[in-house]
Copies of this chain bind each other. A is one copy, B any other.
């Protein structure tokens, strides 16, 4: 019973009209008389006709497709961003092509594939782009918005939050609580986001007369952060406060501190994260963190992308949203002086 490939021509024949009438009938601004429209619709229904959007894309030279490139779905922050972005694009009648790009070479393949697919825009989630890669996209004229990473190239839009300030605030918060041996768990080595958070954190510590005692790396992942926590907490004089480049790692650090080292949080060690994922608010984690305005980020990024897609003239923008401190129970309260 396969009705594979019903074409507009077949519908036209059945309806006794020209093929282009059928085409018009399925176009937004149809100039078709009610009479023929009905004939066509009937014929179409009978045959189970659906316009072939590949053919349409070829003639209109518009794929109505955007690509989303994501590094991993482990972090709930990006699942959330992806889900919202997907809903947004669906609402705009755009298709979404998903690519997962592990850090490294594979990004070039993804970009190549993207371009061949004629996607009209690209949303990069936490993807670190080289200038070459960024300019390749710009050269072929595909608007691109990077969320949560920066690239030193003006031709591409970026949406993120004030990571430096977030890190700075984290430092201030920990310093006020009277911490002394303070550690930072980085995300990825080359990640601008992680670096900005660390730089802000270091600056904040310095401003408070402290220095960053230890640094380790957790690749934004739970397992790696547990390892990092083990290393940090096994030191001769272990940190009494740990700031992590995202919430997932912060939670991993808490798990390790509590269940492997028998430490109390925040009495023995304060822990802070970044993002404010839903989980961070769960009572057992109760994580003090730097909230990224996820709604705003997605809205800004998707709308900016669509503007650039629809209007060639729209210039790439760099948008930096304010962070929101979220004080919860995983950090000691400020000392009263």
Interface residues of A (CB under 8 A from B): 1-5, 48, 50-55, 57-58, 61, 63, 65, 68, 72-74, 76, 79-80, 82-83, 86-87, 90, 95-100, 112-113, 115-118, 139-141, 222, 251, 254-255, 258-260, 278, 282-285
Contacts and interface: CB of A to CB of B under 8 A. Distances in A.
Binding site secondary structure of chain A? mixed
A222 B80 CA distance: 14
Contact of A117 (B48, B53, B80, B100): B53
A95 B222 CA distance: 29
Given A53-B118, A284-B285, 18 more contacts: A1-B139, A2-B139, A2-B141, A3-B141, A5-B61, A52-B118, A53-B117, A54-B117, A73-B80, A74-B83, A86-B98, A86-B99, A90-B99, A95-B117, A97-B97, A97-B98, A222-B278, A284-B284
29 contacts: A1-B139, A3-B139, A3-B140, A4-B140, A5-B61, A50-B115, A50-B116, A51-B116, A52-B116, A53-B116, A54-B54, A54-B57, A58-B58, A73-B80, A74-B83, A76-B76, A76-B79, A79-B79, A86-B98, A95-B97, A97-B97, A97-B98, A222-B278, A254-B284, A255-B282, A258-B283, A259-B283, A259-B284, A284-B284
A55 B80 CA distance: 34
Given A53-B117, A116-B50, A284-B255, A100 B73 contact: no
A55 B50 CA distance: 19
Contacts of A53: 116-118
User: Could you say how many copies of this chain the assembly holds?
Assistant: 2
A99 B85 CA distance: 11
A58 B61 contact: no
Nearest to A223: B278
Nearest to A55: B58
A52 B57 CA distance: 11
Given A61-B5, A139-B3, A83 B100 contact: yes
B278 A54 contact: no
A54 B63 contact: yes
Contacts of A87: 100
Contact of A50 (B112, B222, B251): B112
A50 B260 CA distance: 54
A129 B254 CA distance: 41
Q: Nearest 6 CB-CB pairs, A to B?
A: A259-B283, A73-B79, A73-B83, A2-B141, A53-B116, A86-B100
